[in-house]
Amino acid sequence: MTVPRSRTFAQVDVFSSSPCLGNPVAVVLDGTDLGDEEMRRLARWTNLSETTFVLPPTTTAADYRLRIFTPGGELPFAGHPTLGSARAWLDNGGTPRNSDHIVQECAAGLVSVRCGEGTLSFAAPPLVRDGALDEEYLDRIVAAFGIKRDRVVAHQWVDNGPGWAVVQLPTAEEVIALEPDLSLVPTAMVGVIGAYPEGAEHAFEMRTFAPGVGVAEDPVCGSMNASVGQWLTSTGGAPSAYRVSQGARLGRAGTVEITADEDGTVWVGGAAIGYIHGTIIL
């Protein structure tokens, strides 16, 4: 067991420039010498979607290494914790090796993070699984969502590590109206997206359900938006740049910016603002 000591701690709100309307992440800025169970215990205690631990990198190509935990276990990659941890690292005096971007090491590999005017954005990691969902799994999702099969416009595996699948409904309003029964899909990691009318402030509304890792609904999910962005921009389902709203049903007001470069790299960006700075005894 690690001898408890004071460690620098931050809590960062991601994907909203308005206080307390995004998705918070807890960040321990010195995770050195903490064991797996100690990290899991803190993640259960904070009861946020994710809690992260910043560690020295194992490669000279990275600025730091990140471990990411939900209340239910560890993830190889996650989006809003990537941006929130980068913001906390910068606020704590971190200096990137490269002047124009940070390189984060995590279990999924190396992730680039750009520093923009008031925002951060990460390069979407490659998918580990894609393609259409099998009909049996899709039927279970449809049943859990309490909708008819013909309301599903499209569906896809969009797994960049956590196990994501997504279904697309015709409208944002239908997405917001969902009252899912997650007991029917207790191990699922699934999102749902629907379009707003042309000319609206946001192109889509997104919701993300992750009972498989102990999170009923993630307020604003960067990794899901990353992989869905790769899917939609590569198939013509969305333009190369668009905005997603997420969190309305949870009283949040998240905005996620998706941009696809000419080489196909998808960047996922938004505000990341530190609201809690201090120490934690671990």
Place of tokens 């890792």: 213
Of residues 30, 246, 58, 230, the one with CA closest to residue 127: 230
Q: Which of 37, 38, 50, 135 is catalytic?
A: 50
User: Strands, DSSP E only, in 199-251?
Assistant: 204-210, 215-218, 241-246
Of residues 214, 220, 228, the one with CA closest to residue 251: 220
φ and ψ at residue 232, rounded to 5 degrees: -70, -40
**Is residue 50 annotated as a catalytic residue, yes or no?**
yes
The answer to whether 57 touches 65, Cβ cutoff 8 Å, is yes
The answer to whether 268 touches 79, Cβ cutoff 8 Å, is yes
User: 246: which 2 tokens?
Assistant: 């997420």
Four-CA torsion 11, 17, 18, 20, nearest 10 degrees: -20
- Look up residue 225 and give its amino acid: N
Query: Apex CA 114: angle with CA 109 and CA 115, to 5°?
Result: 140
Separation CA 168–CA 33 (nearest Å): 43
The answer to whether 66 touches 106, Cβ cutoff 8 Å, is yes
The answer to whether 121 touches 86, Cβ cutoff 8 Å, is no
Instruction: Just list the catalytic residues.
Output: 50
